[in-house]
Amino acid sequence: MPSSTIIKIPSDDKAFEENCVPLFCGVLKDPNVKLVGTRGKAQSGIDLTGRRDRDPTQLVGIQCKLITRGGKLTEEIVRADFDKALQITPALTEFIVATTANDDLEYDRIANTLSQEQAALGRRIDVQVWGWDTLQPKIRANKAALDAFDPGHSASTDRIVALGEESLERHGETKAAVDRGGQGEGIICVERCGNIVNPRR
């Protein structure tokens, strides 16, 4: 799929959170990633929860932040959710913020600072902040996630891929037939598409 394809940002928080479920099922290699609670109830700073490689000792919390185009995610917002997530038991080993805001070096600084602060206190937790530029390639690489974020585009892409595979299959069958026909004088191979090929030319 062309890397230039732009995936439309979801229209509301709920849609973004739900679309992130299949995305992080793939990222974490855990089919049991799920939404945490419901809107309006305490969510302890995370929207999704899962396990890295389904390992019960590798607990991951994901916070989904829908930011309107041109907006930025602030350190204050990230810290507020992170502080809540630190109270979760058993303790998280990863905290990921997935946001529709464009990537910014400031997000890496925030993530690294939070991880280092906890390390200084004797706790190891990997913190990541992924902007929309980081999320899009991950979405494209995951069919289930792409179907969720952009079902119309995925359907057309699947058809194009299927046609391409069918064309390659036909080409392979035709070449094999031509190779077989070339062993005898004047044998002609007829492709499925109706073109006539003389292997002796």
The predicted-structure confidence for 90-122, as pLDDT tens digits, reads as follows 999 999 999 999 999 999 999 999 999 999 999
Q: Which residue has the higher pLDDT, 70 or 94?
A: 94
pLDDT given at position 70: 84
Q: Is residue 35 part of a domain?
A: yes
Question: Would residue 41 count as lying in a domain?
Answer: yes
- How many domains does the chain fold into? 2
Residues 47 and 76 placed together within one structural domain of the fold: yes
Q: 118 in helix, strand or coil?
A: helix
Does any domain span residue 4? no
Model confidence band, residue 167 (pLDDT cutoffs 50, 70, 90): low
In this structure, are 70 and 144 located in the same domain?
yes
The answer, yes or no, to whether residue 22 has pLDDT greater than 90, is yes
* pLDDT average, residue stretch 30-54: 87
3-state secondary structure of 99: strand
Its domain, for residue 173, covers 156-197
Same domain, 124 and 75: yes
127, 62: one domain? yes
Same domain, 55 and 83: yes
188 vs 165, residue with greater confidence = 165
Stated pTM of the model:
0.74
pLDDT tops 50 at residue 58:
yes
Q: Are residues 39 and 97 in the same domain?
A: yes
| Same domain flag for 108 and 160 | no
Shared-domain flag, residues 119 and 167: no
What is the overall mean pLDDT for the chain?
83
Residues 128 and 164 in one domain: no
Which of 172, 169, 201 lies closest to 188, judged by CA? Answer: 201
Same domain? For 121 and 102 the reply is yes
Task: Lowest mean pLDDT of 81-90, 120-129, 178-187, name the range.
Answer: 178-187
Distance CA 201, CA 197 (A): 9
| Same-domain status, 25 and 80 | yes
Residue 160 pLDDT class (50, 70, 90 cuts): low
CATH code where residue 29 lies: 3.40.1350.10
The answer as to whether 6 is a domain residue is no
3-state secondary structure of 105: helix
5 belongs to a structural domain: no
**Contact, 29 vs 113, CB < 8 A?**
no
Residue 62: per-residue pLDDT: 98
Residue 201, pLDDT above cutoff 80: no
Contact 137, 3 (CB under 8 A): yes
Cβ distance 25 to 144 under 8 Å? yes
Residue 80 lies in a domain: yes
Mean pLDDT of 133-146: 95
pLDDT of residue 163: 55
